[in-house]
Amino acid sequence: MTPRVRFAPSPTGYFHVGSARTSLFNWLYARQSGGTFILRIEDTDAERGREEWLAGIITAMAWLGLSADEGPFRQSSFELRHRELAEKLYESGFLYACDCKRDQIDTRTKDRKTPGYDGYCRDRGVMRSETTGLRFRTPDLGETVVRDVIRGDVVFPHDAMEDFMAVKSSGAPLFPLANMIDDREMEITHVIRGEDLLPTAPKQILMWQALNEIDVTLDLPAYAHLPMLVNEQRKKLSKRKDPVAVESYRDKGYLPQAFVNYLSLLGWAPKGKDEILSLEQLVEQFRLEDVNHAPAFFDIAKMTHINGEYLRAMTVDAFMESAKPWVHPDEGDWVPSDHEIPWTRERFQEDRWRVIAPFVQERITMLSEVTAMIDFLFLETPRFDEAAVTKVLVNDADAVLILERAIEVFSVTDFVPEVLHAALADLSEAMGMKLRKTQAPIRVALTGTSVGPPLFESMVILGLDEVLKRLNAAVVIAQG
């Protein structure tokens, strides 16, 4: 049977990097096996779910290039079917009515060793009403074994499992019921999802057995629970403390292809040495059974490094295209949040950007760094970095002299990078200084900071007039 896999996110928050990894592994598995990748939005939690989170999932998946073969489906649209099968399960005795309140359960169970519900209503023959939910009658004896592609057999003894809720008192079907019904209806062959869902697997398997009794008999899907993602302290990534929203990485200027490449390494590794792999190579090389069960370190530094490699491997045109949202946002289809572009549309000059772009491309690891690196080209006065100004203009007693001599020399030098370079090298020698020392105040005068694109190329782009103007202004600053 050709594999059918699904990614089943709940739209209850920002699209998490862990969800992106789950989605990718499902997608890869489908692509390499000639199978079908289904997107099912589990939107039945009306209290926590929001339309904007759902839109975020769709946008993020499109950004990552993970398109679904079927869907997106909304779980809520299958509710009638969930309710119909819940009734049948109830009539057949797999579910029973329960009218216990949370505080009553807590009082009764506080001294029990096994956590959860104590089975109080199991045989009380509670009449159904608006205050009764339906619980699953978990067998007393035996155990349920989850056969996991990644973890092997994971055994759940029944005496440690509670009679879990399957239908709320409102009549709304709950996760273990709805999720398994949908997997059955969609003929899912492999459930690939995060490790946090492993404890729900035995409940779903029990549900599947019960559904086989009252409905058509189907094969159980194979399970693969992907390792959790941890931070530097080896703690589970926390929504509050760690940057986990996929959106935030797009905003910072990670390339989708680099991001996907990095995600693939979270719990899996290629056989060869090379970790830089295109989607096509990933489809070819990825093996679900080779996924590791140990927690995977979400290493932002490594991901950033990989992003830099991707940026440098691009053609200049592709780089300029990708950098658009950080250079001229009004032309892109989205604007990175929390990112300001300090120049006006009128002052922006495409030809200057084109000349500087290859140098910028060499020097950054995230596209959001582009803006600060080129703003001196489009601002009337550079945006001065105070620390740099203090260090190399105000506090360096030689700064004024260097700037004044540089003004003299540059005024009569051909404006080409090599010639400017040679002229400043000669001047430095004449002044008994290192080239690095003389470059420092000039760079701050022209660009406002100590780091940026190569100085002499930048000078050529600015042109003689602009260079002299900025050097003179810096003399005034240096004189205090």
Q: Given the rule CB under 6 A, which residues bind ligand GLU? A: 8-10, 42, 179, 191, 193, 197
Quick one: 47 or 386, whose CB is closer to ligand GLU?
A: 47
Give whole-number Cα distances, 116 to 119, 201, 204, 251, 436, in Å.
Answer: 9, 17, 17, 42, 69
Q: Which helix (H) or strand (E) holds 136?
A: strand 133-136
Q: Identify the residue whose tokens are 């203009």.
A: 393
Quick one: 9 or 448, whose CB is closer to ligand GLU?
A: 9
Helices (H), 215-298: 246-252, 256-264, 279-285
Closest distance of CB 211 from ligand GLU, Å: 15
> DSSP state, 375?
G
Closest distance of CB 251 from ligand GLU, Å: 23
Give whole-number Cα distances, 379 to 337, 396, 462, in Å.
Answer: 22, 26, 11
**Pair 22, 40: CB distance under 8 Å:** no
Closest distance of CB 19 from ligand GLU, Å: 7
Closest distance of CB 354 from ligand GLU, Å: 45
Quick one: 14 or 456, whose CB is closer to ligand GLU?
A: 14
Closest distance of CB 205 from ligand GLU, Å: 12
> DSSP state, 245?
B
Q: How far apart are CA 275 and CA 305, in angstroms?
A: 12
- Encoded tokens for 196: 């946090």
Closest distance of CB 136 from ligand GLU, Å: 17
**Pair 35, 75: CB distance under 8 Å:** no
Q: How far apart are CA 459 and CA 440, in angstroms?
A: 14
Closest distance of CB 196 from ligand GLU, Å: 7
Quick one: 193 or 421, whose CB is closer to ligand GLU?
A: 193
> DSSP state, 126?
P
Q: Decide: helix, strand or coil at residue 121.
A: coil
Closest distance of CB 143 from ligand GLU, Å: 21
Quick one: 57 or 86, whose CB is closer to ligand GLU?
A: 57
Nearest to 167 by CA among 249, 97, 245: 97
Quick one: 72 or 454, whose CB is closer to ligand GLU?
A: 72
Quick one: 136 or 384, whose CB is closer to ligand GLU?
A: 136
Q: Name every residue whose Cβ is closer than 8 Å to that of residue 192 and which is 6 or more positions away in sequence.
A: 5, 22, 25, 26, 29, 224, 226, 288
Quick one: 19 or 368, whose CB is closer to ligand GLU?
A: 19
Q: What is the CA radius of gyration of the chain?
A: 31
Q: How far apart are CA 82 and CA 95, in angstroms?
A: 13
Quick one: 19 or 458, whose CB is closer to ligand GLU?
A: 19
Quick one: 186 or 258, whose CB is closer to ligand GLU?
A: 186
Exposure letters 273-304 (e unless 16+ CB within 10 A, then b): eeeebebeebbebbebeebebebbebbbeebb
Q: How far apart are CA 438 and CA 453, in angstroms?
A: 17
Closest distance of CB 175 from ligand GLU, Å: 7
Which stretches does DSSP call E strand in 233-361?
296-297
Quick one: 191 or 424, whose CB is closer to ligand GLU?
A: 191
Closest distance of CB 243 from ligand GLU, Å: 20
Closest distance of CB 65 from ligand GLU, Å: 21
Quick one: 188 or 440, whose CB is closer to ligand GLU?
A: 188
Closest distance of CB 88 from ligand GLU, Å: 22
- The pairing of strands 165-167 and 133-136 is antiparallel
Closest distance of CB 212 from ligand GLU, Å: 19
Quick one: 8 or 323, whose CB is closer to ligand GLU?
A: 8
- Encoded tokens for 262: 């990095």
Q: Decide: helix, strand or coil at residue 90.
A: helix
Q: How far apart are CA 121 and CA 132, in angstroms?
A: 10
Nearest to 122 by CA among 163, 167, 169, 92: 163
Rounded to 5, what percent of the chain is helix, strand, coil?
A: 50, 10, 40
